[in-house]
Amino acid sequence: MDKLEFESMTLCPLDGRYGKIKDQLADYFSEYALVKYRVFVEIQWLKFQLDHLHTETLDKVDPNKVDDILAISKDFNFDSFKRIKEIESVTRHDVKAVEYFIDEKLKALGYEHLESYVHIGCTSEDINNTSYACMIKYGLKDVWLPAAKEFASMINKLAVDHKDDAMLAHTHGQPATPTTIGKEFKVYAYRFFSSIENIENIKIKAKFNGATGNYSAILTAFPNEDWPTLNKEFVEDYLGLTFNPLTTQIESHDYTCHILDGIRHFNNVLADLDVDMWLYISMEYFKQIPVKGEVGSSTMPHKVNPIRFENSEANIDLSNNLCVALSNKLPKSRMQRDLSDSSSQRNLGLCFGYSLQAISETTGGLAKCVVNKEKLAKDLNEKWEVLAEPIQTMLRKYGVPDAYDTLKALTRGKNISQEDIQAFAKSLEQLSDEDRQTLLDMTPSSYIGLASELCDIEL
C-alpha cells in the first residue's frame, strides 16, 4: 500500500491528510511510544534496585555489565515492539507482556536470576502512569512547546513590523479609538507567551507506590527500607518527573488536566486571532496573496478565501473538545481503580495533534496576508467622529461639566467631516492656544496614543 493509498483509508485526518503532524508526534503518543516508555520505566526500576538494594541476587550483577541491561531499553525498536505484541496476544495484558519481554532479554544476557526483580513491588499503574508522564513531558518539550513558542515569536515580530500602521479599531463592531496593526498583534503575542509560561510551570507528576498506593508489597519484602523516600528518588532522579506522594492505585491525573486546560486556553487565544484575522480580511484591512494554481471557489473565479483561518478554527474545536472530555474524565475513578482512564488516555496525542494543526493553519494563513495600507488610511479618514473622545477629554481638563454630552450631541450617529471637527475645535475659547492647536493638528491616523511604543515591550 503506497502513501496515498494508506492516507485515503485512514479514519483520523492526523494519520492521513495531516500526516506531517502524526510524524511529529508518533514518537511520543503512539502505541509504539507507550510500549517503549513502559520498557524504559521497567528497566530504570531494575537499575534503581541494582544501585540501592543489596541482596544476594542483585549483587551477582557485575557493575560493569549494567549497560547491557540498560540496552534493553536503549535499543528498543520495532522488532522489540512486535515481540511484546506477540506476547500480549497470549497474556491479554499489555504491561505483563512488557515484563515477560524483559525476562526474555535478561535470560539471553545470562541474567535469568534477575527475572524476579523485574516489576517487583509494582502494580501496572506504576508503569503506566510514569510512562504517560514521560510521553507528555517529552511531547510537550520536544514538539508542542517549540511550535507554540515559534508561533508566538512570529506574532511578536509582526507586532514590531507593523507597529506604526494605524488602523481604525472596532468595539462592538463599531468604529472606535484608532490603534495600530502592530499593537493588536502585540496583545496576542503577550497572551500566547503567558499561556505558554503557565503550561511550562505545571509539574508533571508520577506515583510509584504499589497496588493501592501504600507500598504494601515492596514493604513486605524489604521492611527496613524507607520506600517513600526511595521511590521519590526513583521518580525524580531516574525518570525526571515530580513525585506524587499521596495517591490511590492510580496517579490522580490532575496535572494532566492542568496541561490540557493550558493547551485549550492557548487554542482559544489562537481562535480569537483567527476570528479577528477573518474579519480584518473581510474589511479589506489585509489583502490575501493569490497563490498560482490555487482555486478559491468552484464557481466564482475571483475568490481568495481565508480558508487557513477557518481550518484552524475547526482543528481548535476538535482539540478543545478532546481536552475538555479528558479533563472531565481523568480526575474521576471508581474507588481505588477502574480502567476507563486507560482508554481515555490513549487519545492524548489527538489533543496535541489538532492543536499543532491549528497552529500550522494559522501560520499559513498569515503568510498569505499583507497589510492594505490604502484601505486603513481610507477608513480612518472617513471616521473623524472618533476624535470626539480626545476633544471631550481635553474639555474635562478645563472643568467643562457637560463635555461628554456636548460631543455626543455633535457626533453620535452622524457622519462627521474633518471640517466639522476642526471648526468645533477652533470654537473652544476656554482652551489654551497650545491645547487648541493639539486638537487641530490631530487626525484619526495620529490619534493612536502609545500604540507604537507598546509594541516595543520585551516579552
Q: How many CB atoms sit inside 10 A of residue 426's CB?
A: 12
Q: By the 8 A CB rule, do 210 and 217 touch?
A: yes
Tell me the three cell numbers of residue 53. 538494594
57 backbone dihedrals φ, ψ, rounded to 5°: -70, -50
Tell me the three cell numbers of residue 234. 526513583
Query: ∠197-200-206 over CA atoms, to 5°?
Result: 155
Q: Which of 54, 89, 172, 302 is catalytic?
A: 172
Residue 51's alpha-carbon distances to 48, 55, 63, in angstroms, are 5, 11, 9
Residue 455 half-sphere exposure toward CB, CA atoms < 13 A: 23
Taking each helix axis as running N to C, give the angle between helix 78-91 and helix 31-52, from 0 to 180 degrees, rounded to the nearest 10: 90
What is the distance between the terminal CA atoms of the chain, rounded to a whole angstrom? 48
What distance separates the 2 farthest-apart alpha carbons in the chain? 101
Classify 168 as helix, strand or coil.
Answer: strand
Burial 388-421 (b: 16+ CB within 10 A, else e): bebbbebbeeeeeeebeebbeebbeeeebeeebb
Q: By the 8 A CB rule, do 152 and 196 touch?
A: yes
Query: Hunting for cell 544501585 — which residue is that?
Result: 51
Tell me the three cell numbers of residue 38. 513502559
Mind giving me the DSSP string for 328-358?
A: HHTT--STT--THHHHHHTTHHHHHHHHHHH
**Catalytic status, residue 54:** no
Residue 206 forms beta bridges with which residues? 243
Distance from C-alpha of 84 to C-alpha of 343, rounded to nearest angstrom:
19
Residue 254's alpha-carbon distances to 110, 204, 296, 325, in angstroms, are 42, 10, 45, 14
Q: How many CB atoms sit inside 10 A of residue 222's CB?
A: 16
Q: Which of 297, 340, 417, 446 is catalytic?
A: 297
**Catalytic status, residue 297:** yes
Residue 288 half-sphere exposure toward CB, CA atoms < 13 A: 23
List residues with catalytic annotation.
172, 297
